[in-house]
């Protein structure tokens, strides 16, 4: 389990339920490494500001992580974490590697509004 305060998506059922129950979802699929931790920290900080977005994490090396790793939008990604933004269950944006707070908020604002 990742050491974050985010919702942990630990099964395909929980992943699908999260997408079904929330219009806007940001999932960070990674490890507790130097490129991933800043993204998790930004997500934890933004959670109170973006009430219309469900923020969640997923372990990259888990079987459940394959749900993110196998997406067409992430097939050419190399750097962790893989961060995927869903609207109504569909991918609207996907990024890889470290993202700054500004990069994340720009994606959230352009895809989900403020």
Architecture in CATH of 7-112: 3-Layer(aba) Sandwich (3.40)
Q: What is the pLDDT along the chain (114 residues), one digit of tens a residue?
A: 799 999 999 999 999 999 999 999 999 999 999 999 999 999 999 999 999 999 999 999 999 999 999 999 999 999 999 999 999 999 999 999 999 999 999 999 999 987
Distance of CA 44 to the CA centre of its chain: 11
Domain boundaries, the chain: 7-112
Q: How many CB atoms lie within 10 A of CB 79?
A: 12
Question: Quick check: helix, strand or coil at residue 88?
Answer: coil
**Cβ atoms of residues 4 and 10 within 8 Å:** no
How much is the pLDDT for 84?
A: 98
pTM for this predicted structure: 0.97
């Amino acid at each position: 389990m990742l050491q974050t305060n985010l919702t942990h998506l630990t099964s395909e059922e929980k992943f699908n339920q999260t997408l079904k129950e929330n219009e806007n979802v940001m999932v960070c699929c990674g490890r507790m490494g130097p490129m991933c931790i800043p993204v998790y920290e930004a997500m934890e900080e933004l959670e109170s500001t973006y009430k219309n977005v469900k923020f969640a994490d997923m372990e990259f090396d888990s079987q459940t992580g394959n749900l993110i790793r196998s997406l067409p939008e992430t097939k050419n990604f190399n750097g962790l974490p893989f961060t995927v933004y869903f609207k109504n269950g569909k991918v609207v944006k996907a990024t890889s590697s470290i993202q700054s707070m500004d990069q994340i908020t720009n994606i959230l604002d352009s895809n989900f509004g403020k």
